[in-house]
């Protein structure tokens, strides 16, 4: 009774200190359980001491499940990630918050609070639309749709997946569905007996992207479209083995680039069997979405001639690995020397192209900063614009916007018409990319890919303000630029690709 009276006389601050003390005592008594550390983490989260909360939640995560009957399993699954995403968000570490929110959703994929909080951390948050698509699957559809110009969805229900596709795709999304549900899933498709599903679908997708609706059975609607009409086809209708097999067989030729579908999991063995029998092993599975590339993904040779700037080169190689998102490429790096043994970019590029084994060549300077998906986006732009894989895709360097290509993805099929070299070897440094761009434009084999970003970390971005490093001083030396400009004008006249704007060679004068 005396102890109780003492506690009742403590201030709030003193009670808080006692609370922390007792939690630490509990952990000292049994350090094989997470509960005390989770309680401490919650205490600091409640008191807005987010870094402390993170530390205790991470410490708790180091303790494995030991099978103790009274332990709360949530402390070993979603709760640490729930605390971590909340606290990382408050200290501004959005990448870590996103990571732990995704982990929490792995354990509780339809938790309303977790789904609500996606709006703080993701470009495409959960929309609260009824359906069975899990959040990582919505993210896959949204991110993939951003790479496509036309998409067809077989099976839309109330629009949960359709909304993600519409939000990502800049082109048209076609939804094929009767909106009456699947015959084999009537227990969960009760709303399909009325027109409620279609009304909800229209409401949920209103004002989002360019939508076309085809209210037909899958195998009837397929007759309305020609082969390779869509960049991407997504199949999520009936889930029986027979129906999935029939849908894949009917729709696979309508996809020019990507065929994918939902519910590739042990929960739906018929779906897995149908996929494996019709198209073989998927190229990838994200959560339960399977996907298969319907076009050959060419091998890409990324060539990087380099001089000095070792840290920039190391950063470039790191970002290529992190951001390519492409399964079939090689990287070739060759080091140049300063004068008197300087080879120069044009001659090095020609030599490296000769060494490369890829179908397509991507040229990057060591001062490039590749952004997310830069390689897959460039390849998709090639496939969509030049089906014969015989063009040049200009990459978005953050400065020039389609006028010409400082860095590119190009087909070796162009070489015979370009004198066997992408960069004419008569140039020192400037002018070669201008000529390549103009000549490809002239024959209709040039496209700018705004979406394929490789920021050019170059003095061009700030108007060539001093000081310049030795590499830039060499590349933009007055006598070399004068020579390159004269040669560019001469070759423009010879090959008829003028007029030449001097701002291309003197970009510091660009207005």
In this structure, the answer to whether residues 319 and 462 fall within a common structural domain is yes
Q: Tell me, yes or no, whether 130 lies in a domain.
A: no
Q: What is the pTM of this model?
A: 0.86
**Which domain CATH number covers 393?**
3.90.550.10
**129 within domain boundaries:** no
Do 270 and 342 fall within a single domain? Answer: no
Query: Based on the number of CB atoms within 10 Å of its own CB, is 395 exposed (0-12), middle (13-18) or buried (19 or more)?
Result: buried
- When pLDDT is averaged across residues 471-483 and rounded to a whole number, the result is 91
pLDDT per position as a tens digit, 231-259: 999 999 999 999 999 999 999 999 999 99
Cα–Cα–Cα angle for 501, 505, 508, rounded to 5 degrees: 100
- Residue 305 shares a structural domain with residue 211: no
| Percent of the residues in the chain that have a pLDDT greater than 70, as a whole number | 95
- 100 and 151: one domain? no
- pLDDT score of 463: 79
pLDDT of residue 192: 61
Least confident of 71-80, 200-209, 460-469, 478-487: 460-469
Q: Which of 68, 91, 120 is the last residue of a domain?
A: 120
Structure tokens belonging to residue 25:
């005592």
For the residues 421-432, what does the mean pLDDT come to?
95
Q: What percent of the chain has pLDDT over 90?
A: 85
- pLDDT higher than 80, residue 76: yes
* Residue 128 forms part of a structural domain: no
User: Are 220 and 315 in a shared domain?
Assistant: no
Residue 2's pLDDT band, with cuts at 50, 70 and 90, is: very low
The residues near 136 (Cβ < 8 Å, ≥ 6 apart) are 102, 105, 286, 287
More confident residue, 501 or 460: 460
Are 271 and 345 found together in one domain?
Answer: no
Assign 468 a pLDDT band (cuts: 50, 70, 90): confident
Are 189 and 315 members of one domain? no
Give the pLDDT band (50/70/90) at residue 511. low
- The enclosing domain of 24 has a CATH number of 1.25.40.10
Strands 329-335 and 289-293: unpaired
Q: State pLDDT tens for residues 20-72.
A: 999 999 999 999 999 999 999 999 999 999 999 999 999 999 999 988 888 99
Cβ burial of 449 (10 Å; 0-12, 13-18, 19+) is buried
Which of residues 81 and 15 earns the better pLDDT score?
81
Structural domains in the chain (count)? 3
pLDDT at position 91: 97
CATH of the domain at 170: 3.40.50.150
Q: Other CB atoms closer than 10 Å to residue 50's CB: what's the count? A: 20
How confident is the model at residue 3, as a pLDDT? 47
58, 88, 120 — which closes off a domain? 120
216 three-class SS:
coil
Is residue 397, in this structure, part of any structural domain at all? yes
pLDDT, tens digit, for every residue of 249-286? Answer: 999 999 999 999 999 999 999 999 999 999 999 999 99
pLDDT tier for residue 369 given thresholds of 50, 70 and 90: very high
Considering the domain architecture, whether residues 423 and 318 belong to the same structural domain is answered as: yes
Domain final residue, candidates 95, 120, 145: 120
DSSP character at residue 291:
E
Q: Does residue 155 lie in a domain region?
A: yes
* Tally of residues, the chain: 511
Q: Identify whether 406 is part of a domain.
A: yes
Domain range for 52: 2-120
Q: Which residue has the tokens 């000292």?
A: 28
Residues 239 and 370 in one domain: no
Q: Does residue 98 lie within any of the structural domains?
A: yes
Say yes or no: 165 and 59 in one domain: no
Please tell me the distance from the alpha carbon of residue 212 to that of residue 145, in angstroms, as a whole number. Answer: 15
User: pLDDT tens across 166-212, in order?
Assistant: 999 999 999 999 998 776 655 555 666 678 999 999 999 999 999 99
The arithmetic mean of pLDDT across residues 79-107, rounded, is: 97
Whether residue 315 sits in one domain with residue 280: no
Claim to verify: residue 154 and residue 225 sit in the same structural domain: yes
Per the prediction, the chain carries an average pLDDT of: 93
User: In angstroms, rounded to a whole number, what is the distance separating the alpha carbons of residues 268 and 241?
Assistant: 9
At residue 499, does pLDDT exceed 90? no
What is the model's pLDDT at position 101? 98
Residue 410 lies in a domain: yes
């Amino acid at each position: 009774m005396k102890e109780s009276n003492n506690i009742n006389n403590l201030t709030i601050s003193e009670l808080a200190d006692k609370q922390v003390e007792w939690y630490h005592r509990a952990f000292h008594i049994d350090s094989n359980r997470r509960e005390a550390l989770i309680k401490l983490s919650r205490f600091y989260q409640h008191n807005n001491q987010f870094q402390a909360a993170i530390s205790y939640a991470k410490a708790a995560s180091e303790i494995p499940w030991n099978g103790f009957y009274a332990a709360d399993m949530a402390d070993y699954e979603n709760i640490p990630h729930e605390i971590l995403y909340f606290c990382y968000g408050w200290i501004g570490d959005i990448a870590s918050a996103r990571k732990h929110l995704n982990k929490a959703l792995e354990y509780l994929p339809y938790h309303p609070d977790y789904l609500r909080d996606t709006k703080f951390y993701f470009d495409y948050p959960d929309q609260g639309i009824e359906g069975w698509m899990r959040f990582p699957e919505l993210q896959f559809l949204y991110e993939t749709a951003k790479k496509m110009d036309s998409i067809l969805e077989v099976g839309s229900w109330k629009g949960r997946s359709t909304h993600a596709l519409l939000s990502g795709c800049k082109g048209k999304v076609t939804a094929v569905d009767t909106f009456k549900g699947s015959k084999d899933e009537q227990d969960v498709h009760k709303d399909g007996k009325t027109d409620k599903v279609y009304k909800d679908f229209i409401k949920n997708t209103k004002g989002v992207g360019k939508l076309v609706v085809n209210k037909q059975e899958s195998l009837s609607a397929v007759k309305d479209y020609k082969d390779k009409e869509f960049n991407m086809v997504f199949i999520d209708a009936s889930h029986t083995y027979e129906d999935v097999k029939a849908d894949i067989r009917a729709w696979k030729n309508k996809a020019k680039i990507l065929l994918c579908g939902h519910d590739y999991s042990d929960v739906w063995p018929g779906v897995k069997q149908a996929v494996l029998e019709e198209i073989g092993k998927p190229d990838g599975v994200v959560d339960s979405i399977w996907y298969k590339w319907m076009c050959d993904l060419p091998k890409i040779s990324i060539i990087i001639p380099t001089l000095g700037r070792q840290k920039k080169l190391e950063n470039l190689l790191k970002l290529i690995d992190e951001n390519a998102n492409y399964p079939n490429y090689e990287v070739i790096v060759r080091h140049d020397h300063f004068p008197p043994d300087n080879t120069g970019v044009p001659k090095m590029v020609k030599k490296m192209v000769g060494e490369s084994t890829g179908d397509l060549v991507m040229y990057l300077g060591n001062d490039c900063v590749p952004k997310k998906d830069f390689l897959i986006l460039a390849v998709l732009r090639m496939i969509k614009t030049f089906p014969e894989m015989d063009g040049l895709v200009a990459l978005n360097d953050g400065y020039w916007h389609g006028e010409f290509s400082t860095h590119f993805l190009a087909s070796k099929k162009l070489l015979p018409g370009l004198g066997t070299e992408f960069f004419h070897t008569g140039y020192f440094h400037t002018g070669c990319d201008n000529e390549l761009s103009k000549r490809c434009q002239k024959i209709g084999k040039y496209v700018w890919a705004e979406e394929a970003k490789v920021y050019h970390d170059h003095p061009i971005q700030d108007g060539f303000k001093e000081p310049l490093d030795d590499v830039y001083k060499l590349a933009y030396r007055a006598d070399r630029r004068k020579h390159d400009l004269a040669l560019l004008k001469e070759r423009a006249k010879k090959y008829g690709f003028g007029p030449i704007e001097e701002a291309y060679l003197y970009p510091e004068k660009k207005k």
